């Protein structure tokens, strides 16, 4: 990364780190929610579904604000996390990861649900008659068959996490080396006199990363289709 300045490469590495944490953290929740929303009938399902999709329609700054209220040092969840587990979210990269996770969560769940709806339930019945209990059936049949959706969801969410701006800057501010991810660095460069060329380089990096994510996603999808013979 010879042609990147220290600040730029720091923002790039931080972005990748935040996006990875965000995806790893939200993956199990997203799989569980996709399964619950697709396979279970219960009162309040529609409300839960709407709630999951809320970040798609809310201004990101509102999400950031709500996170501040809930996960701030004096918030009901944030205060407990800090006292009980020593986890600080506000002004930290973990906080940035949480903000991006919440914002990209609906994209992840959507991709997984589409994939799960295409899994033939007859195969789960077959697994049942062959002696597989509920979790075993899910792990050995359902999950492998919805894997294309899980991967697509993870890659989409990762790409979206790289680009999340509003919720991050509202919740964890813009601290170099800790929460200043690529879009925040780009925004900062634009605010700085003479930062034009830096802004351009950061924009190019963002484009390359986004394109790479899309290509990777397509490659995975093809590979999985070939294995499953579709």
Partner 1 sequence: MLQVAAKKQREAFTLDAQFELPTPGVVALFGRSGCGKTTLVNVIAGLLDPDSGRVALDEDVLLDTARGVDMPPERRRIGYVFQDSRLFPHLKVAANLCYGLKRARAPAFVDLDLVADLLDLGPLMSRRTHELSGGERQRVAVGRALLSQPKLLLLDEPLASLDASRREEVLPYLETLRDKLAIPMVYVSHNFDEVLRLATHLVLMESGKTVAQGNLGDMSLHPRMRAIIGADAVGAIVDGRVLGTSASSGLIRVQVGDGELNVHCDGVAPGTKLRVQLLARDLIVATQPPQHLSVRNSLKGVVTSIADDVDDSNLIAIDIGGTLIMARVTRDATRELGLAPGLPVWALVKTASLRPHPI
Burial degree of 154 (CB within 10 A; 0-12, 13-18, 19+):
buried
Nearest distance in Å: CB 229, partner 1: 3
Q: Which is nearer to partner 1, 123 or 208 (CB)?
A: 123
Fill in the DSSP letter of residue 45: H
Nearest distance in Å: CB 158, partner 1: 24
Q: Give 61's contacts (C-beta < 8 A, 6+ positions apart).
A: 166, 167, 170
Per residue, the 3-state secondary structure of 93-127, as one string, reads HHHHHHHHHHHHHHHHHHHHHHHHHCCCHHHHHHH
Residues that bind partner 1 (CB under 8 A): 120, 122-123, 125-133, 136, 140-141, 144-145, 147, 227-230
Nearest distance in Å: CB 172, partner 1: 40
Nearest distance in Å: CB 31, partner 1: 17
Q: Which is nearer to partner 1, 115 or 170 (CB)?
A: 115
Q: Which is nearer to partner 1, 62 or 114 (CB)?
A: 114
Q: Which is nearer to partner 1, 14 or 141 (CB)?
A: 141
Question: Distance between CA atoms of 70 and 212, rounded to whole angstroms?
Answer: 35
Q: Which is nearer to partner 1, 58 or 143 (CB)?
A: 143
Nearest distance in Å: CB 132, partner 1: 6
Pick the closest to residue 167 from 96, 108, 105, 106 (CA basis). 96
Q: Give 90's contacts (C-beta < 8 A, 6+ positions apart).
A: 68, 71, 72, 73, 78, 171, 172
Q: Which is nearer to partner 1, 46 or 129 (CB)?
A: 129
Q: Which is nearer to partner 1, 74 or 223 (CB)?
A: 223
Nearest distance in Å: CB 157, partner 1: 23
Instruction: Locate 27 and state its tokens.
Output: 């993956």
Instruction: Locate 82 and state its tokens.
Output: 């800090």
> CA gyration radius for the chain?
20
Instruction: Locate 2 and state its tokens.
Output: 């010879």
Q: Give 82's contacts (C-beta < 8 A, 6+ positions apart).
A: 73, 88
Nearest distance in Å: CB 35, partner 1: 17
């Amino acid at each position: 990364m010879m042609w990147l300045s220290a600040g730029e490469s720091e923002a790039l590495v931080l972005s990748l780190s935040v996006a990875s944490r965000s995806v790893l953290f939200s993956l199990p929740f997203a799989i569980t929610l996709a399964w619950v929303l697709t396979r279970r009938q219960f009162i309040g399902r529609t409300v839960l579904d709407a709630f999951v999709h809320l970040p798609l329609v809310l201004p990101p700054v509102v999400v950031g604000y709500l996170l501040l209220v809930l996960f701030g040092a004096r918030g009901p969840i944030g205060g407990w996390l800090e006292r009980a587990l020593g986890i600080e979210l506000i002004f930290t990269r973990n906080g940035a990861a949480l903000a991006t996770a919440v914002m990209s969560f609906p994209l992840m769940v959507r991709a997984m649900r589409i994939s799960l709806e295409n899994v033939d339930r007859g195969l789960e019945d077959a697994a049942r008659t062959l002696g597989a209990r509920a979790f075993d059936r899910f792990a050995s049949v359902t999950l492998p068959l919805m894997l294309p959706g899980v991967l697509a969801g993870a890659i989409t969410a990762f790409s979206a996490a790289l680009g999340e701006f509003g919720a991050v800057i509202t919740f964890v501010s813009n601290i170099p080396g800790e929460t200043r991810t690529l879009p925040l660095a780009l925004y900062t460069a634009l605010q700085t006199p003479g930062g034009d060329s830096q802004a351009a380089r950061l924009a190019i990096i963002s484009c390359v990363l986004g394109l790479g994510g899309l290509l990777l996603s397509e490659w995975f999808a093809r590979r999985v289709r070939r294995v499953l013979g579709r």
